[in-house]
Structure 1
Amino acid sequence: MPIDRSDYRNIPLDFPIEQIDSALAGSQSKLNLVEEDGKFYALGTSPSEVAEAHEICEDLAQQMVPYCVRKMAELHLSHEEMLEKLLEGIFQKNWVSPQQAR
């Protein structure tokens, strides 16, 4: 089911909205939802959760720019080589999801 992006103001259309898998104890079936402004969202997909994830990604990107520029000069790397190394490091550290990192 497609997500209504109108609830996600100021979030770029290409920013991934990812549901967080969860498990709840007990023998009865349960659905883990978050209520926000009278609407229910799967865990990780509420507008405030997506906005927080986007803010974290933006902050990480801003911090990585000077670091990457410095490393490119020190190691004589191309943009492509630096991006490959950066993504590898981000994936290993699990700072953001692979979809968000791209």
Structure 2
Amino acid sequence: MTLGASADEAIFALSAYRERIVTSEDRTGKADTRNEQVSEPWRVPDDFPHAPVPGVVPGIQPKLLVRQLNGEYSSSFTSEELVARYDACADLAQQLVDYALRKKSALCLTPEVALERVETGLKAKVSTGRWDLTGDEVAWLMKHVRELLLNEASAKKFD
């Protein structure tokens, strides 16, 4: 399954923070440009996976994998990481719907067969490490793709 560069770019964005350039003028009229982290956790729906997959470290004693962020230890995503992962997954879901609709019409597939092919290709890219998605994110993606595909199909019935 080839989705194209835009899908790969969306997945690549999972590992990066979203930043925007904020420009303002100070009292002297000079432009002050700085990077501002975008944090909009309210945009992430409740059913989107919020916790990363726990890591595995060999050894006899139990271990907790954490990282230090701003002087504090954390085992979960930051708000910015969560928003970036959600944005990339939501974008990928729409691209997968468009792909399924194209294949459905070009090959005269049923929606179920088109969804199976999308899911097979998605899982193959994740298992080879080409796309950085957790198992929970893959499950959320396929649920969301099914919903969007059903909405597209029902909208076309009324056209």
**TM-score (normalised: structure 1):** 0.67
Q: Distance in 1 between matches of 2:90 and 2:69?
A: 23
SS in 1 for 2:74: strand
Partner of 1:87: 119
Instruction: Look up the equivalent residue of 2:106 and give its one-letter code.
Output: E
| Residue pair 2:53, 2:134 contacting (<8 A) in 1 also | no
| Residue pair 2:52, 2:134 contacting (<8 A) in 1 also | no
**TM-score (normalised: structure 2):** 0.47
In the TM superposition, 1:9-88 aligns within 5 A as 9-22=42-55, 31-34=64-67, 40-43=73-76, 45-88=77-120
**Unpaired segments ≥5 residues, structure 1:** 1-6
Alignment partner of 1:100 out of 119, 123, 137: 137
Q: Distance in 1 between matches of 2:67 and 2:78?
A: 7
Q: Deviations along 1:20-73, whole A, 9 cap, x unmatched?
A: 44478xxxx975435668865314x22222111111101211222222111001
**Alpha-carbon shift at residue 91 of structure 1 (Å):** 0.7
Q: Distance in 2 between matches of 1:41 and 1:9?
A: 20
Instruction: Look up the equivalent residue of 1:90 and give its one-letter code.
Output: L
Please, what is the CA RMSD of the aligned residues? 3.1
**Alpha-carbon shift at residue 13 of structure 1 (Å):** 0.4
Q: 1:73 to 1:101 in 2, by over 3 A?
A: same
Q: Distance in 1 between matches of 2:86 and 2:104?
A: 26
Equivalent pairs, count = 95
**Unpaired segments ≥5 residues, structure 2:** 1-39, 140-159
Q: 1:23 to 1:66 in 2, by over 3 A?
A: closer
Instruction: Look up the equivalent residue of 2:95 and give its one-letter code.
Output: Q
Higher RCO (CA < 8 A, seq sep 6+)? 2
Greater C-alpha Rg: 2
